[in-house]
Structure 1
């Protein structure tokens, strides 16, 4: 909230793979991710902050709602982030009202419990990979509903969908679905800015310096085919078989723990 100097004691993150941190570290060394980075940003201004991350990869918005909301409320957060819906948009059947309904239910419950809540809008996936063009209308529809629900409940919205930099390939991991470390850094900065946290500003919206020229013509087609074989194909096979990347997985950080900021590693936010 503008003009405030917020100090938080308990931050709880709800969501799917992006909030879990895929693309920022790995399952061997540990995942960091934007929520961990946001917790680290909070520490200098919120001494004693404790942080839990309930996110699990592959979860639909309805699953985030049914599996993570009650545990989150049990932790009595004074700050919560709720980010979900991308997995829903990628499914054959998508209902923007249904997805937004799950998000709004979480917004309502968490704010009623006394938490300051933040969320994000999503960039147009077609600007990241041309094969995602059929999903553009879904992204727009869900973003509109997220804004409306957030407005009704006083939820802060990081408008990541508005700025050209968010589709810079350097912000995305090779699968083009998850942020790279630099992308997670920008998301954390965007959420901090939406919350008007001390030390935050709009620098996350700034363009990166010029980078390598993207492939064109035949090389671009080859790159798309390589991406489809490496990432899209396995994802489609899981969908056909009814499997999820999150099958058998639980939250990486289900309990409130102190946030460590002494070394810049994927483990900075504390024990897993």
Structure 2
């Protein structure tokens, strides 16, 4: 197998929320991909630099230079989702910088994996604002991937991600089933066989009655939306006290 090292760069999507290990730490699609790649390469090494809540400029400034310095064979780059949710979202600047980052990563000789994000707007408020912004970001990712020969994982085109079972309680982060499906897509793009069960669509939940659905919305708003708004108002991030779970390249079975 070609890849002896893999560095994952990004935010909560790549850190692995909401797919917990038994100890409460997060696994996620990148760990699943790394575990599969390690099967065929005894010398395989893996780093995951992703931290929840990170905005695109922070990912670029903090994680990309570290990833470049490691000179891995494979890099995943997924960022911009948190920026789409901010009033300060600047699509032109983000698109330009996204292209520059992928060009830099490809310039090291690494294979690069990028993502068109799945549609989360049906489960979140502000769809009329978030939807067009996400479309701009996804379009830029697709164009960049084609321009630089990166592996494009098109989650937006996969209708299974419209199944609520694919998402965690906060409706923004993937569930374990969602992460497994992402890992299957990534490995397929790399030409590596994955666990076929990861791509079996889970059963959809039965539709809730109107009152039950509104009650669920109210619970969600109290548990997840209100804390998110409070962090925005106070200038805080969910990742302020979080460090990368695997900051250095190391064998997959070792803690980085």
- The question of a shared fold, defined as TM-score above 0.5 by the shorter chain, is answered with yes
2:28–2:176 Cα contact (<8 Å) kept: yes
Distance 2:200 2:156 in 1: 14
Which residue, out of 229, 242, 245, partners 1:252?
245
Query: For each residue in 1:49-101, what CA deviation from the matched residue of structure 2 results, as whole angstroms up to 9, or x when unmatched?
Result: 10001111111111111111111111111100001111001111212222233
1:190–1:204 Cα contact (<8 Å) kept: no
Say how many residue pairs are matched. 255
Which residue is equivalent to 1:156? Answer: 151
Task: Give the 3-state SS of the residue equivalent to 1:31 in structure 2.
Answer: coil
Is 1:187 the counterpart of 2:157 in the alignment? no
Is 1:29 the counterpart of 2:24 in the alignment? yes
Task: Give the 3-state SS of the residue equivalent to 1:87 in structure 2.
Answer: helix
Which residue is equivalent to 1:118? Answer: 113
Which residue, out of 179, 187, 201, partners 1:207?
201
Task: Give the 3-state SS of the residue equivalent to 2:7 in structure 1.
Answer: strand
Which residue is equivalent to 1:264? Answer: none
Q: Which moved more, 1:89-98 or 1:77-86?
A: 89-98
Which residue is equivalent to 2:93? Answer: 98
Which residue, out of 62, 71, 74, partners 2:69?
74
Distance 2:235 2:111 in 1: 36
Which residue is equivalent to 2:138? Answer: 143
Task: Give the 3-state SS of the residue equivalent to 2:144 in structure 1.
Answer: helix
Distance 2:42 2:11 in 1: 27
Distance 1:229 1:222 in 2: 11
Q: CA RMSD in A?
A: 2.0
- 1:13-92, aligned counterparts within 5 Å? 13-25=8-20, 28-92=23-87
Distance 2:196 2:97 in 1: 29
| Offset of residue 195 of structure 1 | 2.1
Q: 5+ residue gaps in structure 2?
A: none
| Offset of residue 202 of structure 1 | 8.7
Q: Which moved more, 1:103-112 or 1:60-69?
A: 103-112
1:57–1:245 Cα contact (<8 Å) kept: yes
Displaced runs of 4 or more, over 4 A: 200-206
Distance 1:233 1:176 in 2: 14
2:177–2:198 Cα contact (<8 Å) kept: no
Q: 5+ residue gaps in structure 1?
A: 1-5, 261-269
